[in-house]
């Protein structure tokens, strides 16, 4: 893993949360993107060298909707940048981590993504991200 790529925060209302976080970070979001396959609308902020992703559910059965129902708004995941997502997924699987998807899938912000089950990482949902070239 190269670095923390972003931190994802689940929100109930993306528009209101964009306003709140714009005040907090003293900057506006730079991108809004919908990932229809995951039932989520995202918004990204740059804070120094770091990125924060806000996630709003667009479908009641989406993972974000289920997270909000169970835990409420808050930190949803930590994403790490990797050079080769497929080999990193295999390495982590060999180390005993539980993958939520067997193959990388297309995510927001021009990334291939894969997730580790929180049960295998002390309750933290981990996302692996590889830039699509």
- Give the pLDDT confidence of 71-129 residue by residue, as tens digits: 999 999 999 999 999 999 999 999 999 999 999 999 999 999 999 999 999 999 999 99
Q: Is the pLDDT of residue 65 over 90?
A: yes
Joined together, the tokens standing for residue 101 give 């998807």
**Between 133 and 62, where is the model more confident?**
62
Q: What is the pLDDT of residues 17-38, one digit of tens each?
A: 999 999 999 999 999 999 999 9
Question: Are 80 and 12 in contact, with CB atoms under 8 Å apart?
Answer: no
Instruction: List helix spans (H) across 2-133.
Output: 14-25, 63-71, 85-94
Vertex 109: Cα angle to 63 and 65 (nearest 5): 15
Share of residues in the chain with pLDDT > 70 (%): 100
Per-residue pLDDT at 1: 83
Whole-model pTM: value is 0.93
In this prediction, residues 41-59 reach a mean pLDDT of 97
């Amino acid at each position: 893993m190269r670095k923390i790529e972003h931190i994802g925060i689940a929100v109930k209302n993306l528009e209101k949360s964009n306003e709140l976080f714009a005040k907090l970070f003293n900057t506006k979001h730079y991108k809004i993107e919908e990932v229809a396959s995951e039932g989520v609308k995202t918004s990204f902020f740059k804070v120094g060298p770091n990125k924060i992703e806000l996630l709003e559910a667009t479908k009641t059965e989406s993972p974000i909707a289920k997270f909000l129902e169970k835990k409420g708004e808050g930190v949803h995941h930590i994403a790490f940048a990797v050079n080769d997502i497929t080999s990193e997924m295999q390495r982590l699987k060999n180390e005993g981590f539980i993958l939520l998807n067997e193959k990388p899938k297309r995510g927001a912000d021009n990334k291939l993504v894969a997730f580790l089950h929180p049960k295998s990482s002390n309750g933290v949902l981990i996302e692996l991200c590889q830039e699509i070239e």
